[in-house]
Structure 1
């Protein structure tokens, strides 16, 4: 008899959500996390004595269904949103702020255009919203359930009306640059609006693919894509998920790295029967669910010997090059940003879309961006406990930064890049360098090593057209099931993708229980 009905590998938010929903129906569930804390990229991180900042610093796509199904409000999650303004900064233009869907500081034409722009995107996001929380049908399958899913999707799009439906099919595949160029004049505003479709991916404003679809996915959350910091911050949110999991009966073990997924075979085929830990122990289970990225799951934990060569080759070819670096600064005081009364918004430091495009061009050749684009937040203004009294934390996402740098990430390369980042910050917050008492740079290579994410990619696999929907991460593993009986996926490499929205974990649990 198996020790557990299900073992879940990985204690990020998707693993916690999947484990909780399985335990709720009476399964004996064990969750194993390699690190000493839960939460993955959203886990607490003390980067200097007394200074804290997780890699994932905000919520912006959390699904209402996840909150409801896990009864998160019972465990301390508050529905009250602490929404964060988006501020477009430029050395050539005055700051432009988007606060609760209202544009301020822009020219009159851009202000009027923004109303139409947001209304159109909300319409499209609402039409697609139900499908991020569904299992996408397998290619070539024709079951009643699959036909109903396609029928539902078709009906939702048809109900948009003829004009909106045609516009949806045109807009959904546009590069972000084309979309915002159609509506706005301000260079800094256009760059800031591009950010939420591009961040975390290996795409720039001109890249033809699906960045608009990514933006619509992010707008399907509880606050239509607006960023928020939950009560207690991101680590507080993970604490809520942990409480829900333990209350449901999930057994959680940290410092419990999985070395191998155990595969048994007989005349009926292969079956997953448990896991072997790095310490040599083995745990038997009727089902194993991996929230690790697909390359880690199949190539390291399962092994190519247990997979068909065609499937193995598709997994090897998955694109998962992370392009986002993380910078954390410990500050002795609050910096002053030019033109801003109080820097408590999400500040995009990218004067134009060319800033993003040129940084991307550098990165794709393994070079450091000459002018990095930054998303800057001072979370300690909303969570004073992140820093000692009277001091502050600055946390920034930096695009585009290659994980595989020409010449490698040497100490000299790190110092050079940090100097470039500080020069960029000085343009917007003069004197900020003198306030820095400690700093941290996490490159995609660091994220890969420390958080066990292939390529350091936020989303475990690039959210491109050939790696989305019923193709995510690839066929034969795109419905959370895998070619091996008893092995499932529930991480960001599954539909609908990354970000802290919980859909992959919730969808996987429902598929396992189907």
Structure 2
């Protein structure tokens, strides 16, 4: 029987990052991945002969510290990838273009206010930024280091000054719509600026409950929220992390789905009376592998309910895990195109383009989805990754990648080929309003619903972030108390996925933080 210091379930970017840190410390680490690709939702795969794409199609806030610690540049990742402009598309061609602290396509008043808004928001980004890469202390019975973390946060808030501290407390749970209406007149600008606080969630512009905190989280990267596609694409980032992990000594096995987490009675626990502890995994093949600890890079529901089993947990904890909100609301459209797509009013479609004419368009799409329906007028984020990474399509041809909000995991009547065809047609019709020749360029289309993502990536509900990024599922409550510091009620079992603090997206903080917690 094989034995390791640590087994990590899932080779998403957080699992690979955690493996790299632990292997660098001298641990014998095994990473088990159910599929044949590394990267989880960031995995690149061929969706049509010669055309490749990944669900996560850009990088906005990947941790510079993780990149430096793991020396990802030496493994082929360009940490200085040039950010793309964010373009709020207008069907007339009069687009709103956001680049750094400047915006064009709006009134002089909005352009002036945008600079003030960015400086205002950036103060709160900097306030929270250090805490994304820290373990958030539990509530009560804190150690001195944990108390110091609280003290550091309190001091940073105090240093904001009375007025800004009051503003932070006011906007922290403010609906995105209120913040945008307070600052701007242009509808497209307001919708584009709200997007990063909403994408991947079951919330809309009028929803209170931390959409602004999600926006601050997304803006914590080196380019203050601007998105980039690195040379070599997202695949280059995943390959670099995997290379760093294997170079440090970690083993990675694909096509190795885990059936369950195994347990044993550890006599050293509970003052010698003994208690259950995780001691390895059993694969679907029947093979058993043991380890000192198991770290799950899969979502909390799958970890505790499917792999560990509720019979091994207290009912109160199990109920909290079952109540986590994990309904995915994003579909992914991939188009294989015969040539470079042309959008009205753009010289080249080399930015991150958002189709959301106004905040109400987002709200109405959300209203359709929350009742189990398909959006009548889809809103979406679009990139053409092959303009940045030529290996994603044959020469002269291109890939269009779109995140389509709001598409429910639980569709009324269920998902079938007819429902997917209806949604695909609506999305392409919407695209054609901005890129009139797009339909004639389509060689092949692929639509991945949240239900597809749940099935293919083994993530509960097909939720990007493994659970909602909301006030009751954040910080020292993510995913819930007793499991928010990466350790869990089951001795020897840890979490390191997007369902842990600080949350989802290609950042790597959860993998970093979990490794540091294990190595204490």
Q: TM-score scaled by structure 1? A: 0.98
Q: Secondary structure at the match of 1:475?
A: coil
* Number of residues of Structure 1 aligned to a counterpart in Structure 2: 514
Residues 364-513 of structure 1: pairs in structure 2 closer than 5 A: 364-513=370-519
- 8 Å Cα contact 2:175/2:211 also seen in 1: yes
Per-residue deviation, 1:475:
0.7
Q: Distance in 1 between matches of 2:93 and 2:216?
A: 28
- Aligned partner of 1:307 in structure 2 is 313
Residues 180-199 of structure 1: pairs in structure 2 closer than 5 A: 180-199=180-199
Per-residue deviation, 1:92:
5.8
- Aligned partner of 1:330 in structure 2 is 336
Residues 59-74 of structure 1: pairs in structure 2 closer than 5 A: 59-74=59-74
Per-residue deviation, 1:79:
2.8
Q: Secondary structure at the match of 2:490?
A: coil
- Aligned partner of 2:119 in structure 1 is 119
Q: Distance in 2 between matches of 1:223 and 1:268?
A: 50
- 8 Å Cα contact 1:331/1:437 also seen in 2: yes
The yes-or-no answer on 1:285 pairing with 2:291 is yes
Per-residue deviation, 1:222:
2.1
- 8 Å Cα contact 1:418/1:441 also seen in 2: yes
Per-residue deviation, 1:268:
1.3
- 8 Å Cα contact 1:231/1:237 also seen in 2: no
- Aligned partner of 1:262 in structure 2 is 262
User: More deviation in 99-108 or 362-371?
Assistant: 99-108
Q: Secondary structure at the match of 2:30?
A: strand
Per-residue deviation, 1:230:
1.6
- 8 Å Cα contact 2:231/2:388 also seen in 1: no
Runs of 5+ in structure 1 lacking a partner?
none
- Aligned partner of 1:250 in structure 2 is 250
Per-residue deviation, 1:2:
6.8
Per-residue deviation, 1:265:
2.2
- Aligned partner of 2:322 in structure 1 is 316
The yes-or-no answer on 1:30 pairing with 2:30 is yes
- 8 Å Cα contact 1:43/1:235 also seen in 2: yes
User: More deviation in 145-154 or 164-173?
Assistant: 164-173
- Aligned partner of 2:269 in structure 1 is none
Q: Distance in 2 between matches of 1:413 and 1:8?
A: 37
Q: Distance in 2 between matches of 1:363 and 1:141?
A: 42
Q: Secondary structure at the match of 1:351?
A: coil
- Aligned partner of 1:151 in structure 2 is 151
Q: Secondary structure at the match of 2:327?
A: coil
Q: Secondary structure at the match of 2:500?
A: coil
Q: Distance in 1 between matches of 2:80 and 2:489?
A: 42
Per-residue deviation, 1:141:
2.3
- 8 Å Cα contact 1:403/1:444 also seen in 2: yes
Q: What are the Cα deviations for residues 123-157 of structure 1, in whole angstroms up to 9, with x where unaligned? A: 11001111111111111123211210100000011
Q: Secondary structure at the match of 1:428?
A: coil
User: More deviation in 264-273 or 343-352?
Assistant: 264-273
Q: Secondary structure at the match of 2:241?
A: helix
- Aligned partner of 2:237 in structure 1 is 237
Q: Distance in 2 between matches of 1:2 and 1:376?
A: 45
- 8 Å Cα contact 1:380/1:392 also seen in 2: yes
- 8 Å Cα contact 1:362/1:369 also seen in 2: yes
Per-residue deviation, 1:96:
0.8
Per-residue deviation, 1:241:
0.5
- CA RMSD between the two structures: 1.1
Q: Secondary structure at the match of 2:265?
A: strand
Q: What are the Cα deviations for residues 262-299 of structure 1, in whole angstroms up to 9, with x where unaligned? A: 01125311111100001000001000000000000000
- Aligned partner of 1:361 in structure 2 is 367
- Aligned partner of 1:346 in structure 2 is 352
Per-residue deviation, 1:365:
0.4
Q: Distance in 1 between matches of 2:463 and 2:414?
A: 18
The yes-or-no answer on 1:272 pairing with 2:278 is yes
Q: Distance in 2 between matches of 1:69 and 1:226?
A: 23
Q: Distance in 2 between matches of 1:322 and 1:241?
A: 26
Q: TM-score scaled by structure 2? A: 0.97
Q: What are the Cα deviations for residues 352-396 of structure 1, in whole angstroms up to 9, with x where unaligned? A: 000000000010000000000010111111111111111111000
Per-residue deviation, 1:93:
7.3
Q: Distance in 2 between matches of 1:470 and 1:100?
A: 32
- Aligned partner of 1:90 in structure 2 is 90
- 8 Å Cα contact 1:261/1:272 also seen in 2: yes
Per-residue deviation, 1:324:
0.3
